[in-house]
Amino acid sequence: MSVTDLSMDKNGQPVATKQTQPAPGATAEGHEQLQEFEQLRALMMAKGVRFPADPPAKVREQIRQK
């Protein structure tokens, strides 16, 4: 993913600078957060939560049927 920053040069003209963002697990902090998410996801799946979750329309239909 890239982000474009806009700033003004000394003549007042816009200057675009593109920056590429690192992948979520590329930094040490990102890698740690990714591992925590995976542990939480595994725990939730062990307790019966579905991943990916059903779409809202399907959940509403299931609630109506109860």
CA-CA distance, 37 to 53, in Å (whole number)?
A: 16
**How many domains does the chain divide into?**
1
pLDDT at residue 3 tops 90: no
pLDDT digit string, tens, across residues 23-53: 777 788 888 999 999 999 999 999 998 888 8
Domain of residue 51: give its range: 2-65
Please tell me the pTM assigned to this model.
Answer: 0.48
Q: Are 18 and 3 in contact (CB under 8 A)?
A: yes
